[in-house]
Amino acid sequence: MADRTSERKQEWLISAPSMVWLTVLFLAPTLLVFAISFRPSTPFGGVGEGWTLQTIRELANPNYPAIIWRTVWLSLATTVICLGLAVPCAYFMARARARWKPVLLMLVIIPFWTNFLIRIFAWKVLLHPEGLVKKLLLAVGLVEPRDILMYNENAVLLVLVYSYLSFAILPIYAAAEKFDFSLLEAAMDLGATRLRAFLQVFLPGISRGLITAALVVFIPALGSYVIPDLMGGPSGEMIGNKIAQRVFVDRNLPHASALAAVLTLAVVVPMVAVIFLQRQKKPARAKEAGG
């Protein structure tokens, strides 16, 4: 027991710098954002004195529900599609021959070597009315010459999925790597079809990887700003774009803060819920390691 406490102390000491860092540069600004939501705005783009609920009332803007709805569904759709693509990818990566694994892993990581913005601009080039994708789809007759592939929700979704797919594959692959594939044979031995074994044994076996992947896709997707800005046009706006607009165009900081606070809560509440759920799973796993 004495060992435990000294270990705890050490853990605290080691994590202290990052705790300070997070408190000063992350928690404090976030609290400031929350605070500013309750301040009046000034005509010159500043933050006034005193407290008011004016901004909160302004959130009842009739445009917002649509944008918030779009933000949520785009993020959910991105998460679902990313997981749907990442699970088979991770499965095949984990089952590949040992010498192929590093190669496949490299292929997943290589896109990170190119700047995020450049990759999004590359999509703009591809989807452009004169771009490669458009021409290919025209050639096979899947689109009409007048169809526009960009500046709509679907283009945003496509690029969101593209951008976050790697982030989904990595944690799922890490879980699949540790999965004991003889369990699938055991399930089939007991009469399960390949699909049933996959659903009832493989997916529960990699559940931690799935949860992590869902979080690392859903949270950044909710806060997307660059992708809808470049790919979305007015019909593909997300809440991130509105916040930027309130800051740079309307110069209304309290309003932007209130929107940001709503977004933060939308991220933090589900995350805390998930962490809480995982905590509940933990005792069983700790025993596994011990026994």
Partner 1 sequence: MPSTMDTSIQIEGVTKRFGSFAAVDNVSASIARGEVFSLLGPSGCGKTTLLRMIAGFEQPDEGRILLDGEDITDLPPNRRKVNTIFQNYALFPHMTVRDNIGYGLKVAGRAGAEIRSEVDRMLDLIQMGDHAGKKPSQISGGQKQRVAIARALINKPRVLLLDEPLAALDLKLRQRMLIELDNIHDEVGITFLYVTHDQGEAMSLSDTIAVMNKGKIEQTGRPEQIYEAPRSSFVAAFIGDTNFFEGKVTAVLDDEYSRMTIEDLGEVLVFNDKRIQVGSPVHLSLRPEKFRISRESPPENGRTNRLEGVVEDIVYLGSHTRYWVNVKDYRIAVTQQHGRFLLDEKPVAWNDRVFVWWHADDGFMLEQYREDDEELLTSPGE
Tokens of 199: 């659903």
Closer to partner 1 by CB, 139 or 286: give it: 286
**Binding of partner 1 by 277 (CB under 8 A):** no
Q: How far apart are CA 233 and CA 222, in angstroms?
A: 17
Q: How far apart are CA 116 and CA 156, in angstroms?
A: 14
Closer to partner 1 by CB, 156 or 176: give it: 176
Tokens of 133: 């994708």
The rounded Cα 250 to chain-centroid distance in angstroms is 28
Q: How far apart are CA 259 and CA 250, in angstroms?
A: 14
**Binding of partner 1 by 284 (CB under 8 A):** yes
Which span (139-147, 157-165, 190-198, 227-235) binds partner 1, by CB under 8 A? 190-198
Binding mask 156-185 for partner 1 (x = CB under 8 A): ------------------------x-xx-x
**Binding of partner 1 by 191 (CB under 8 A):** yes
**Binding of partner 1 by 83 (CB under 8 A):** no
Which span (32-40, 63-71, 105-113, 187-195) binds partner 1, by CB under 8 A? 187-195
Residues in the interface with partner 1 (CB under 8 A) total 22
Q: How far apart are CA 257 and CA 93, in angstroms?
A: 43
Shortest distance, position 282 Cβ to partner 1, whole Å: 13
**Binding of partner 1 by 13 (CB under 8 A):** no
Closer to partner 1 by CB, 141 or 191: give it: 191
Q: What is the CA radius of gyration of the chain?
A: 23
Q: Which member of 8, 135, 178, 196 binds partner 1 (CB under 8 A)?
A: 196
Please name which of 262, 257, 266, 243 lies closest in space to residue 37, comparing C-alpha atoms: 257
Q: Which member of 12, 204, 265, 277 binds partner 1 (CB under 8 A)?
A: 204
Residue found by looking up tokens 């021409």 in the block: 135
Q: How far apart are CA 197 and CA 184, in angstroms?
A: 6
